[in-house]
Structure 1
Amino acid sequence: MTAARGRTSRTTSRPAGRPPLTEERKAEIRLDIARAAVDLFVTQGVTATTGEQIGAAVGVSSRTVWRYFPSKESCVRPLFSAGIDLIVDCLRQWGADQPLEELLDRALADEDDLLAGPDRATVGALVRLTRTEPGLRAIWLQTYDEVEPVFARALAERAGAAADDLRPTIQAAMFNAALRAAVEHYAWRTADAHPDRAAAQTELAATLRSALGVAAEGVG
């Protein structure tokens, strides 16, 4: 009886551990790290930026930075991939006789943050850095490479075909290239411009609409 009470006492007196982070909080931390990384990359260059600096800008340790990202260049992936989910949703909802531009217009009208909202100008500067920073270029291309099978599945569902069929695979490559080209076109054309948020939203939406419309013509 005494031993049992002792075991109970040890069990109930164990200090509670830190509660696990929710997926939403993890996503917020990833985005905070991404924003800090891109600000440092733009202002002082990739080579001069360290994991310690990125962590300090967010208020976390470099160990936390490396827990979320394998390299400093990969820290920017959440900003690179912003807006891709919107396009995937459009492709999944795209009716057989529906112009993609109409569906995209509605989605864009409801979407506040195509490129992480107020970070849009910074992301444009980051995309421009991919011209001269091989590490960032690799992450940029990898982001689109990994989303291409997602596009293929969405287009296959629309056509009632298998995701690994050649036709949706080629169509996905077309949409993927169009999306990447549109963002690059937007970023490189606005290198010296500083539009306000509304103007930037309008210009980016128009660029995406135009590029994806061209790709849609090839899909039919």
Structure 2
Amino acid sequence: MVTPLTEPTASASAPCRVLGLRERKKQRTRDALVDAAHSLFLSQGYARTTVDEIAGAVDVSQRTFFRYFANKEEVALAVMADAEDFFIDCLRARPAGENPLEAMRAAITEAWRTLGDVQGTGPGSVTAALELFELIETTPTLLAAHLRHTTEQEATVASVIAEREGLDPAVDLRPRLLAAVFGAVVRLSHLSWTSDPTAHRAGPDGMIELIERHFDQLGPALAGSWR
């Protein structure tokens, strides 16, 4: 999620770090680039949009754009990358007594509810994130980049789970296996959302309902009888 002027921590009880003037200006420029890119991608397509157009829409140079993003793919996926980073923060903050699956399920729900609290259609809003799902799925270049990033995130999730449980992920395969299964459930929820008009209209609540429904089916799918 895009960082606001006061940067939230994963724990609601923890104090917020107030950003300085320079950091706020940088954050506003980054947000403006993400918002401009998002609007251009949706209006004229990802392939037809250039870095120069994105920079020009914010009245900054191409050089300034590259201070924030390595390429067009990175700015396109910035909303999702920020949301995924926030999910990791939520996961790290979950109570130690929760089992790994409970912690991941609670963390992804918390992340989506927080995303839903951001108003409007800007880069940190739920509208932007949900629109991005459809853009990714219909753009092969973005889909490939997103899947690469998802693989990297799975490794991070496995590392966090292994640390919580006091395990060595190089020896014990459970953290990596669970992270992969979790990632598949979340991706299937996203795909279900794109084809479910009711979930569309419900916004973040619709996405959370789909995620919860998929998790409820996880146990029977893996271990129960299908007949």
TM-score normalised over the length of structure 2: 0.68
Give the share of equivalent positions with the same residue, in percent. 28
Q: Which runs of 5+ in 1 are unaligned?
A: 1-18
Note closer, same or farther for the CA distance 1:212–1:60 as it changes in structure 2 (3 Å cut): farther
TM-score normalised over the length of structure 1: 0.70
SS of the residue corresponding to residue 120 of structure 2 reads: helix
**What are the within-5 Å matches in structure 2 for residues 196-215 of structure 1?**
199-214=202-217
- 1:76 Cα offset (Å): 1.7
- 1:67 Cα offset (Å): 2.4
- Contact 1:175–1:215 (Cα < 8 Å) also in 2: no
- For 2:39, give the aligned amino acid: D
Note closer, same or farther for the CA distance 1:114–1:158 as it changes in structure 2 (3 Å cut): farther
Aligned residue pairs total 196
Aligned-residue RMSD, C-alpha: 3.7
Note closer, same or farther for the CA distance 1:111–1:21 as it changes in structure 2 (3 Å cut): same
- Among 154, 172, 192, the alignment partner of 1:185 is 192
Q: Which runs of 5+ in 2 are unaligned?
A: 1-19
Query: How far apart in 1 are the matches of 2:104 and 2:147?
Result: 28
**What are the within-5 Å matches in structure 2 for residues 97-112 of structure 1?**
100=102, 104=106, 108=110, 111-112=113-114
Note closer, same or farther for the CA distance 1:155–1:82 as it changes in structure 2 (3 Å cut): same
- For 1:153, give the aligned amino acid: S
- 1:79 Cα offset (Å): 0.9
Query: How far apart in 2 are the matches of 1:128 and 1:115?
Result: 21
Query: How far apart in 2 are the matches of 1:149 and 1:109?
Result: 19
- Contact 2:113–2:204 (Cα < 8 Å) also in 1: no
- Among 112, 115, 135, the alignment partner of 1:113 is 115
Are residue 153 (structure 1) and residue 159 (structure 2) matched?
yes
Note closer, same or farther for the CA distance 1:183–1:47 as it changes in structure 2 (3 Å cut): same
- 1:75 Cα offset (Å): 0.9
- 1:28 Cα offset (Å): 4.3
Are residue 78 (structure 1) and residue 78 (structure 2) matched?
yes
Counterpart position of 1:54: 54
Query: How far apart in 1 are the matches of 2:177 and 2:167?
Result: 13
